[in-house]
Amino acid sequence: MMRPLIQPASATDAFPFSSAFEAEMMLGKQHPLRPYFEKVIAKERLTQDDALAIYHSTDLLAIGLLGDVARKVRATQGHENSVWWVHNYHINPTNICEDTCTFCSFKKGEQSPHAYFWPIQKVIDDIHAYEGNETLREFHIVAGHYKKANLAYYAEMFKALRKAFPWVNIKGLTAAEIDYIAKIEGITWEETLKVLIDSGLQALPGGGAEVFSPRVRALVCPDKISGETWCDIHGLAHKMGLKTNATMLAGLGETPEERVQHMIALREQQDKTGGFLSFIPLNCYYEKNKADAQHALTGFENLKNFAVSRLVLDNFPHIKAFWIHMGEKISQVGLHFGVDDVDGTVIQEKIAHAAGTQTAQGLTVRQLVHLIRQAGKTPVERDAFYNVVKVWDETAQAELAPAVVLNKAYH
């Protein structure tokens, strides 16, 4: 009998996508990371010890392949090669904050000449002035903890946004802000969320999580809600029908163990209430704040955070590279380390820029689509809930490309 010219390869039969085949080739039976590859393929949950063993490996390409395999194993069918992004616009209506986070360069005291608190009409007018507003899909709204930015203020803002821009999703207020507003109003988190939801709130961002470790929080944000409280508020939001997101701000002197514990706490919360859409690993910046720059993350660590979070958070649909923090280049490489989302156009970010990030104030659609395509991925434009707006495959031209309109009031 004639031998077939091409023998079916057992590895490709077992793993119907290339990164698993590459991992099979690279992670031979003797490779120290091989057991985690086997677990990912078998869809078994990784333990804290597993995650730490991956963290402590210096075989970065093998770690990236593990993250990439996990991303493809967990992707929605048909989206194994997709990278999601949203045409979004950031609104930071006040930089006045009563809190004392050492890593924050955004906050100002009420008497500072640089303090601001925007009337709602200014928020609306600025968006009207942004020439790409007709194709926006998401408002990302976070600000300082300021008594005048109270429940009535945000309720009125959300109503005004829904009325003026009904095609744009409202993702607003971190768990720390929800807690602050509830406290100044003397009501419960549930009552606070109910008013905000009735006014148009649709999702929560992931901020305020920082690192859940009580040791680190006592050093860098002693007045902020605890990690448990942060998770409780997100759990409540999920039960009330909101989708939410989660961050981890690394570079505060936390250990790899504390990072993994942060991820496992999120995984446990997701097991209970299931409303998280994405996890966003962030790195700290150190200009004009009191955080210790000796803890600054390296490119290796940022890429490890992408891969390890994709591996640990097996119940999170998406891992996001927030290119504003990570830089466009590390974010792009991250697309092969388990990341499947690059956030979006981010018109126009202030908080990380206040602390020294050198990235642009916003990317055009053309730039984002180019960044994703150059990584060999298919850009998929989404709304805040990962509904597909448009698949930017080779036939789709990035002609949309609205110019980035910077806020004159800020500059």
- Would you tell me which residues interact with ligand SF4 (CB under 6 A)? 97, 99, 101, 104, 106-107, 144-145, 176
Question: Which CB, 54 or 97, lies closer to ligand SF4?
Answer: 97
Question: Which CB, 145 or 336, lies closer to ligand SF4?
Answer: 145
Among the listed residues 284, 372, 279, the one whose alpha carbon sits nearest the alpha carbon of residue 70? 279
Question: Which CB, 227 or 338, lies closer to ligand SF4?
Answer: 227
CB of 325 to ligand SF4, least distance (A): 14
CB of 252 to ligand SF4, least distance (A): 12
Question: Which CB, 216 or 363, lies closer to ligand SF4?
Answer: 216
CB of 144 to ligand SF4, least distance (A): 4
Sequence-ordered strand ranges (E) for 39-179 = 82-86, 88-91, 138-141, 169-172
H-only helix segments in 186-276? 189-199, 214-220, 227-239, 256-273
Using the Cα atoms of residue 346, residue 348, residue 349 and residue 353 in order, give the sign of their dihedral: positive
CB of 97 to ligand SF4, least distance (A): 3
CB of 245 to ligand SF4, least distance (A): 16
CB of 182 to ligand SF4, least distance (A): 15
Burial of 256 (0-12, 13-18, 19+ CB in 10 A): middle
**E strand or H helix at 344:** strand 341-344
- Given a contact cutoff of 8 angstroms between Cβ atoms, the answer to whether 234 and 246 are in contact is yes
Question: Which CB, 23 or 173, lies closer to ligand SF4?
Answer: 173
Determine the distance from the C-alpha atom of residue 108 to the mean position of all C-alpha atoms in its chain, rounded to a whole number.
Answer: 25
Question: Which CB, 128 or 147, lies closer to ligand SF4?
Answer: 147
- Given a contact cutoff of 8 angstroms between Cβ atoms, the answer to whether 265 and 224 are in contact is no
